[in-house]
Amino acid sequence: MAPGVSNIMFFTYAILTGVTLSFIFLSYELGTIFQAFVVAALMYAAMAIYGTVTHRDLTKLGSICIMALIGLLIATLVGAFVGFSDTMFLVINYIGVLIFVGLTAYHTQRIKNMLRDANESNQEDAVRKISVYGALALYLSFINLFLRILAIMGRRR
Protein backbone atom coordinates (compact mmCIF):
# COMPACT_ATOMS: atom_id res chain seq x y z
CA MET A 1 0.00 0.00 0.00
CA ALA A 2 1.31 3.45 -0.85
CA PRO A 3 2.38 5.52 2.16
CA GLY A 4 -0.13 8.28 1.35
CA VAL A 5 -3.02 5.82 1.22
CA SER A 6 -1.94 4.13 4.44
CA ASN A 7 -1.69 7.55 6.15
CA ILE A 8 -5.24 8.40 5.07
CA MET A 9 -6.50 5.03 6.24
CA PHE A 10 -4.72 5.40 9.59
CA PHE A 11 -6.15 8.87 10.23
CA THR A 12 -9.61 7.71 9.15
CA TYR A 13 -9.34 4.81 11.59
CA ALA A 14 -8.16 7.15 14.36
CA ILE A 15 -11.11 9.50 13.77
CA LEU A 16 -13.62 6.62 13.78
CA THR A 17 -12.08 5.25 16.98
CA GLY A 18 -12.29 8.70 18.55
CA VAL A 19 -15.97 9.01 17.67
CA THR A 20 -16.65 5.51 19.01
CA LEU A 21 -14.73 6.17 22.23
CA SER A 22 -16.65 9.38 22.84
CA PHE A 23 -19.46 7.21 24.18
CA ILE A 24 -17.38 6.32 27.25
CA PHE A 25 -18.43 9.71 28.61
CA LEU A 26 -21.95 8.32 28.88
CA SER A 27 -20.82 5.26 30.84
CA TYR A 28 -18.11 6.58 33.17
CA GLU A 29 -17.59 9.61 35.34
CA LEU A 30 -15.16 12.22 34.03
CA GLY A 31 -12.85 11.74 37.03
CA THR A 32 -12.65 8.00 36.41
CA ILE A 33 -11.87 8.56 32.73
CA PHE A 34 -9.15 11.07 33.63
CA GLN A 35 -7.58 8.77 36.22
CA ALA A 36 -7.62 5.82 33.82
CA PHE A 37 -6.05 7.97 31.10
CA VAL A 38 -3.24 9.16 33.38
CA VAL A 39 -2.51 5.62 34.61
CA ALA A 40 -2.57 4.26 31.06
CA ALA A 41 -0.34 7.07 29.77
CA LEU A 42 2.23 6.54 32.52
CA MET A 43 2.28 2.76 32.05
CA TYR A 44 2.47 3.16 28.29
CA ALA A 45 5.30 5.69 28.49
CA ALA A 46 7.27 3.52 30.90
CA MET A 47 6.98 0.47 28.66
CA ALA A 48 7.73 2.44 25.48
CA ILE A 49 10.89 3.77 27.11
CA TYR A 50 11.79 0.27 28.30
CA GLY A 51 11.25 -1.15 24.82
CA THR A 52 13.46 1.57 23.37
CA VAL A 53 16.40 1.35 25.76
CA THR A 54 16.54 -2.31 26.77
CA HIS A 55 19.18 -4.55 25.25
CA ARG A 56 17.04 -7.64 25.97
CA ASP A 57 15.42 -9.19 22.93
CA LEU A 58 11.65 -8.86 23.44
CA THR A 59 10.68 -11.13 20.54
CA LYS A 60 9.71 -14.00 22.86
CA LEU A 61 7.66 -11.61 25.02
CA GLY A 62 5.88 -10.38 21.87
CA SER A 63 5.03 -13.93 20.80
CA ILE A 64 3.68 -14.76 24.26
CA CYS A 65 1.61 -11.56 24.33
CA ILE A 66 0.14 -12.22 20.89
CA MET A 67 -0.84 -15.77 21.89
CA ALA A 68 -2.32 -14.43 25.14
CA LEU A 69 -4.21 -11.79 23.15
CA ILE A 70 -5.81 -14.52 21.05
CA GLY A 71 -6.83 -16.30 24.26
CA LEU A 72 -8.18 -13.02 25.64
CA LEU A 73 -10.28 -12.49 22.51
CA ILE A 74 -11.71 -16.00 22.78
CA ALA A 75 -12.46 -15.52 26.49
CA THR A 76 -14.13 -12.19 25.75
CA LEU A 77 -16.30 -13.74 23.03
CA VAL A 78 -17.30 -16.60 25.31
CA GLY A 79 -18.05 -14.11 28.08
CA ALA A 80 -20.24 -12.08 25.76
CA PHE A 81 -22.49 -15.12 25.26
CA VAL A 82 -22.24 -16.78 28.66
CA GLY A 83 -21.73 -13.74 30.87
CA PHE A 84 -18.97 -12.90 33.31
CA SER A 85 -18.94 -12.86 37.05
CA ASP A 86 -17.46 -9.67 38.49
CA THR A 87 -14.34 -11.59 39.47
CA MET A 88 -13.86 -13.04 35.99
CA PHE A 89 -14.44 -9.60 34.46
CA LEU A 90 -11.66 -8.12 36.61
CA VAL A 91 -9.28 -11.03 35.98
CA ILE A 92 -9.71 -10.72 32.21
CA ASN A 93 -9.13 -6.97 32.34
CA TYR A 94 -6.00 -7.31 34.50
CA ILE A 95 -4.66 -9.93 32.08
CA GLY A 96 -5.49 -7.51 29.24
CA VAL A 97 -3.47 -4.78 30.94
CA LEU A 98 -0.47 -7.12 31.20
CA ILE A 99 -0.82 -8.14 27.56
CA PHE A 100 -0.97 -4.59 26.22
CA VAL A 101 1.87 -3.40 28.45
CA GLY A 102 4.00 -6.23 27.05
CA LEU A 103 2.92 -5.50 23.48
CA THR A 104 3.84 -1.83 23.93
CA ALA A 105 7.42 -2.70 24.88
CA TYR A 106 7.65 -5.35 22.14
CA HIS A 107 6.27 -3.12 19.37
CA THR A 108 8.46 -0.20 20.41
CA GLN A 109 11.60 -2.33 20.21
CA ARG A 110 10.49 -3.95 16.95
CA ILE A 111 9.75 -0.58 15.32
CA LYS A 112 13.09 0.81 16.51
CA ASN A 113 14.95 -2.15 15.02
CA MET A 114 13.00 -2.08 11.74
CA LEU A 115 13.63 1.67 11.33
CA ARG A 116 17.34 1.23 12.10
CA ASP A 117 17.63 -1.50 9.46
CA ALA A 118 15.68 0.50 6.87
CA ASN A 119 17.75 3.64 7.51
CA GLU A 120 21.02 1.72 7.27
CA SER A 121 20.04 0.41 3.84
CA ASN A 122 18.60 3.80 2.70
CA GLN A 123 15.07 2.49 2.12
CA GLU A 124 13.06 5.71 2.47
CA ASP A 125 9.82 4.11 1.29
CA ALA A 126 10.20 1.36 3.89
CA VAL A 127 10.77 3.97 6.61
CA ARG A 128 7.44 5.62 5.75
CA LYS A 129 5.61 2.28 5.77
CA ILE A 130 7.20 1.24 9.06
CA SER A 131 6.21 4.58 10.57
CA VAL A 132 2.55 4.09 9.69
CA TYR A 133 2.61 0.45 10.85
CA GLY A 134 4.31 1.50 14.08
CA ALA A 135 1.86 4.31 14.73
CA LEU A 136 -1.07 1.94 14.28
CA ALA A 137 0.42 -0.80 16.47
CA LEU A 138 1.26 1.60 19.28
CA TYR A 139 -2.05 3.44 18.96
CA LEU A 140 -3.95 0.16 19.31
CA SER A 141 -1.85 -0.83 22.32
CA PHE A 142 -2.58 2.47 24.06
CA ILE A 143 -6.31 2.45 23.30
CA ASN A 144 -6.69 -1.11 24.55
CA LEU A 145 -4.57 -0.45 27.64
CA PHE A 146 -6.68 2.61 28.43
CA LEU A 147 -9.97 0.75 27.93
CA ARG A 148 -8.86 -2.14 30.18
CA ILE A 149 -7.75 0.22 32.94
CA LEU A 150 -10.98 2.21 32.58
CA ALA A 151 -13.02 -0.97 32.91
CA ILE A 152 -11.10 -1.92 36.08
CA MET A 153 -11.40 1.53 37.64
CA GLY A 154 -15.04 1.89 36.62
CA ARG A 155 -15.93 -1.39 38.35
CA ARG A 156 -14.39 -0.34 41.65
CA ARG A 157 -17.21 2.08 42.49
In the chain, where the domains are located: 3-155
DSSP 122: T
pLDDT value, residue 86: 86
Residue 151 neighbours by CB under 8 Å, 6+ apart: 89, 93
Q: Residue 40 and residue 31: Cα distance in Å, rounded?
A: 14
Percent of the chain with pLDDT over 70: 97
Chain centre distance of CA 106? 11
Q: Report the number of secondary-structure helices (H) and strands (E) in the chain.
A: 6, 0
| Closest to 69 measured CA to CA, from 92, 38, 47 | 92
Alpha-carbon dihedral sign for residues 126, 128, 134, 137? negative
Chain centre distance of CA 101? 8
Segments of the chain scoring below 70 in pLDDT? 1, 3, 155-157
| Closest to 34 measured CA to CA, from 155, 157, 156, 149 | 149
pLDDT value, residue 84: 80
pLDDT value, residue 157: 43
